[in-house]
Amino acid sequence: MALHRLSPEILSLILESLNSPIDLYHLASASCACWRVFVSFRRLVLSSVLKNAIHLDALPHALAVINAPAAVPGSPTPKEKEVIVFLNKYRNGWRLVPFPTAWDDIVCLSRLYMRVTRLVDDYATHALQALRTIDRPKRDLSVWPTELASAVSLSQTERARFLRAFFRFELYCKLFPVAFRKESWSLFDKRAQFELFLARLQGWEIEELACVHQYLALLVDDLIKELEDQLVSTVLSCKLLSSELNSNQEDSELVSFNPLALRGMDLFSEERRLHLEQCINFLSSLGLDFIYNLLIADRGVRKQTILAHVGVRREFLPQALSSADNIELMKEPTWLFESSARCNLGWVEFRRFKFDRYPDSYGSPPLRAQGYVFWDERRIHSPGVAEKLDEAQAMDQFEAERIFDCKRRKRPREILAGVKIPRAEMERIEKEFVFTF
């Protein structure tokens, strides 16, 4: 029977049964009758779809994100007292918070879910690739998200684990934002972050957060690498090596490329590798909306956004964990088969520490790249997967740093050693690539 022949009540039930806002959009766009019903019952329909889409183990954390304290007028950060009160409520259980009824809040939740879902699909896609190669994910960020990421197939419990981790990470970003007037550049310093948030989590929950942070940090690093490639390409396009000087070109008109000598360009120098790490940590702490917008922007906007946020450092999740090395873990419940409310088999079998403490002095980048704390037992027992997880677990620190540490790669100054370009071109490049913070 054609949809337009059905009553509005039946069409509303059909729309309410969908489990994805994307499916709702496509159906409402394809059918005038469905569109009219959606407009008439939009709050009921979208609320029902979101309840179907977001697993019950992830929903409380999504609701916490949209209810987190907002910045007060005249200040870029929320009030500290409000954050502390909110965290006490969050720790005591967010399941009692009712689902939003205001249309703006429902739309906010839908927007959060859609963006997180795209990030989850991208992470899961590259984690599955890492389970085959044990290497850093190879990404083409010229178009994001990729079609490959939209095709990833996750079980209900796997998706619940991913969603919960991303929602919780976004909540961490909102509760501990950048505070430019603070000495630590954070509303709460690293010790306070640990005591107020991380100390209340179990080890596998902390590791889920660490996995999400590493995924986002690698994304940001890839974006900065793209910016470095742009710089190298720009310099090489106008290079004049000293051995190729034109007879009419005076040597005094040429300058060697040296970003360290230029104010605001030391990010591109090997002598300032720590600045790169600090930049990645800072950008990763600005939240999922910031990173998502960065990913979907064109290369010019990406460049200007990154350069506008270089030059500062702050205390965030890695620093909070390192401030309490060898964290004594809360007593963990017994692992339960295919339950997203508890740790998975990957945490039980492959974590690098087997006792009741959580060391962050050396986590496991290979295991985190493989998303080992998110997979179901069925996937872990798939042919070859457990072997790759074993291999990642056994990888020594030097090899892991060679693959994953941003400071190990060649920087533009190393690549462009010996290159001379006209002074006018150097001034143009300086204006184009100097950070503006």
* CA distance linking residue 290 with residue 191, whole number of Å: 25
Match 């690739």 to its residue by tokens.
129
Give pLDDT, residue 2.
Answer: 73
Q: What is the pLDDT, as a whole number, of residue 334?
A: 58
3-state helix, strand, coil in the chain (%, to 5): 60, 5, 35
8 Å CB contact between 210 and 321: yes
> Among 157, 155, 174, which Cα is nearest to 63's?
174
Token pair in block for residue 258: 């040296």
Structure-block tokens of residue 244: 């190729």
373 three-state secondary structure: coil
Q: Note the pLDDT of residue 361.
A: 46
Amino acid at 357: R
Q: Which single residue is written with the structure tokens 């005094």?
A: 252
Amino acid at 32: C
Residue 384 φ/ψ region, left for φ over 0, alpha for ψ in the -120 to 50 degree band, beta for the rest: left
Q: Which helix (H) or strand (E) holds 420?
A: strand 420-422
Tens digits of pLDDT across the chain (437 residues): 577 778 888 999 999 999 999 999 999 999 999 999 999 999 999 999 999 999 999 999 999 999 998 776 666 678 888 888 898 888 776 666 789 999 999 999 999 999 999 999 999 999 999 998 877 777 778 778 776 656 678 999 999 999 999 999 999 999 998 876 665 578 888 998 999 999 888 889 999 999 999 999 999 999 988 888 888 888 888 765 444 545 455 556 777 777 656 656 666 766 566 678 888 889 999 999 999 999 999 988 998 888 888 777 788 999 998 877 555 555 555 556 678 888 898 998 888 665 455 554 446 899 999 999 999 999 999 999 999 999 998 888 888 888 888 777 777 777 877 788 887 888 888 788 876 65
- What is the enclosing helix (H) or strand (E) of 219? helix 203-237
219: nearest Cα among 120, 300, 291: 291
Question: Within 10 A of 333 (CB to CB), how many other CB atoms are there?
Answer: 11
Phi, psi of 231 (to 5 degrees): -65, -45
Q: Which residue has the tokens 């605001």?
A: 264
Sorted by where each begins, the domain ranges of the chain are 78-231+274-408
CA dihedral for 253, 256, 261, 262, sign (positive or negative):
positive
Distance CA 334, CA 162 (A): 20
Give the per-residue pLDDT at 230: 86
Amino acid at 265: M
Q: For position 357, what pLDDT does the model report?
A: 54
Under 8 Å between Cβ of 124 and 152: yes
Beta bridge partners of 358: 327
Q: 34 near 42, Cβ under 8 Å? A: no
Q: Write down how long the chain is.
A: 437
Prediction pTM value = 0.89
Q: What angle do CA 51, 53, 55 make, to 5 degrees?
A: 80
β-strand 327-328 against 420-422: which pairing, if any? unpaired
SS (H, E, C) 1-51: CCHHHCCHHHHHHHHHCCCCHHHHHHHHHHCHHHHHHHHHCHHHHHHHHHH
